[in-house]
Amino acid sequence: MSLVFHILTLFPGMFESPFRWGILAKAIQEGKIRVETHDLREYGVGPHRATDDYPYGGGEGMVMKPDPLVAAIEEIRARGAKGPVILLTPQGEVFHQQMAKELASLSDLTLVCGRYEGVDERVRQGWVDQEVSIGDYILTGGELAAMVIVDAVARLVPGVLGNEDSALKDSFEGGLLKYPQYTRPAVFRGMRVPEVLLSGDHGAIARWRRRQALKRTLERRPDLLSKAELDSEDLRFLERLRSEAEG
């Protein structure tokens, strides 16, 4: 069974190129995922297919009308989609790896790409299950955010990655950033690969990688450590790092 992404957008052409390359293109060709774009202008109101209008109460910009959005959502539902309707908005919960894992377990989901000054509040209240943001900044619309979510979620669908263990060792899995990676040559412009990685001692390599992940997380994203899966050895190592940093 494949995971179907329904994307409601005013600009379906934006999605033609990103999913024609790499792992996602192969996943689509093999039927592991499907990406279906729905042009909101096809559900527009009146002879000009209007999808936005001036805000009640005045103010700058335009607001996306409820009629086209709800018509598109209801048509997708009528065709059998049962997954959540997700509105991409700066006001939503910030997207994270655990959310990606949860969405990857679904059979389908619908992504609504907001534009302009946002969508009519009645759409949020009556037809949206979840609001999601990809970060604390403003984009011109939700299309790029939708692409990010499709990429992050699709790679977690079974069979999409060639090596299933790759996803288990990503940054943020287990709450930590990933350890440093090296490949050939062993010496590049005077910089050597750490000897432990050349030793063939898999136990030592695993310990080194774990400690490097802890060190990197402490240095770059210490906020993640409060939720990370840490054992007593991890805690002792972190305490030692903190003591060394304090001098």
Identify the CATH number of the domain in which residue 90 sits.
Answer: 3.40.1280.10
Domain assignment of residue 18, given as a range: 3-154
Residue 237 lies in a domain: yes
90 is catalytic: yes
Mean pLDDT on 34-42: 97
Indicate the pairing of strand 108-113 with strand 85-94. parallel
What is the pLDDT at residue 174? 81
Tens digits of residue pLDDT in 72-103? 999 999 999 999 999 999 999 999 999 999 99
Task: Kindly state the tokens that stand for 3.
Answer: 């995971």
pLDDT at 225 > cutoff 60: yes
201 is catalytic: no
137/202 same-domain check: no
Mean pLDDT on 4-17: 97
Mean pLDDT on 39-48: 95
55 is catalytic: no
Mean pLDDT on 112-120: 94
20/103 same-domain check: yes
70/104 same-domain check: yes
Mean pLDDT on 20-44: 96
pTM exceeds cut of 0.85 = yes
101/188 same-domain check: no
130/194 same-domain check: no
138/187 same-domain check: no
Give the C-alpha separation, 87 to 131, whole Å: 5
Tens digits of residue pLDDT in 153-173? 999 999 999 766 566 556 666
What is the pLDDT at residue 162? 73
What is the pLDDT at residue 166? 62
High-pLDDT (> 70) share of the chain, %: 95
76/195 same-domain check: no
Task: Kindly state the tokens that stand for 170.
Answer: 């990503």
What is the pLDDT at residue 247? 76
141/189 same-domain check: no
Q: Number of folded domains in the chain?
A: 2
201/118 same-domain check: no
Give the C-alpha separation, 172 to 235, whole Å: 18
Catalytic residue among 67, 170, 173, 234: 170
Catalytic residue among 39, 115, 143, 155: 155
141/203 same-domain check: no
What is the pLDDT at residue 164? 62
Catalytic residue among 36, 53, 67, 117: 117
123/36 same-domain check: yes
pLDDT at 64 > cutoff 70: yes
216 is catalytic: no
Catalytic residue among 77, 90, 131, 180: 90
Three-state DSSP class for 35?
A: strand
Q: At what angle do helices 22-29 and 143-154 cross, to 10 degrees?
A: 70
